[in-house]
Amino acid sequence: MPRDSTTRKVVRKTPAPAFVRDADASRARILDAATAEFAAFGLAGARVDRIAVAADANKRMLYYYFGNKEALFLAVLEGAYARIRAAEGELRLLDLGPDLAVRRLVEFTWDYYLAHPEFITLLNNENLYHAKHLKQSARIRAMNSPLIANLRTIVRRGNEAGIFHASADALELYVSIAALSYFYLSNIATLSTVFARDLTTPSARRKRVAHMQHMVMASLVVRESDVPRSRKAT
């Protein structure tokens, strides 16, 4: 697996011709390749050799940087969580009115899962193992999302404004918002097959998003008729 030297960093110091040896870059390449491999085949189906080839690295390097296959898997999981947490952090939901904020969250959740199918696959796999890697990880537990706390605030504001039902629970709501997007995208292959209908088309997707928005808002808003499905309320 000889690396193509033309693709490597060619940042010359002062005189030297050198290139080579960039530990961070090597590590990052391995992590990227591992993410793709674990997402495509799961932990058990993933092949260490294949990761090494895809990362354009010697297999020994995976062990040098990550220890073993399962530790590499955990590193991949941590990376995936770090990215979604970063994206969540950029949502400024509290700057929006309660109903628009919820709509925005639904939209964000859908867009994120759609753009990051590897997140779904990795999570499914980790759940197959009853989250045993995640449970070990202090890093992931430290990365708690602002979303639940924010959503609690949003629900409270909606209550105070008299537009949300008093019974709304932020955690349940969050899980449901995630569920509606996640299940559709995670199971799109079997659903399309079993229903003999292609759910991957743009029109099927648009329909899905509209349906989810309607469902979430209907469960929250006191008078559904105040929130037409097409309009984005303030």
3-class SS of residue 164? strand
Is 48 a binder of a second copy (CB under 8 A)?
A: no
Residues 6+ apart with CB under 8 A from 228: none
96 binding a second copy? (CB under 8 A): no
Q: Which stretch binds a second copy (CB under 8 A): 1-9, 68-76, 155-163, 174-182?
A: 174-182
DSSP summary character for residue 93: G
130 binds a second copy (CB under 8 A): yes
Q: Is position 180 an interface residue for a second copy (rule: CB under 8 A)?
A: yes
The residue among 106, 215, 219 whose CA lies nearest residue 164 is: 219
- 163 touches 98 (CB < 8 A): yes
Segment lying near a second copy (by CB under 8 A), choices 2-10, 64-72, 99-107, 117-125: 117-125
Judged by the rule CB under 7 A, the positions of this chain that interact with DNA are 1-3, 13, 16, 18-23, 26, 46-49, 57-61, 63-64, 68-70
Residue among 70, 79, 71 at smallest CA distance from 28: 79
Listed residue (9, 27, 26, 29) closest to 18, CA to CA? 9
Q: Which stretches of the chain bind a second copy, using CB under 8 A? A: 41-45, 121, 123-131, 134-135, 140-141, 144-145, 148, 165, 167, 169, 171-173, 175-176, 178-180, 182-184, 186-197, 207-208, 211-212, 214-216, 218-219, 222, 224, 229
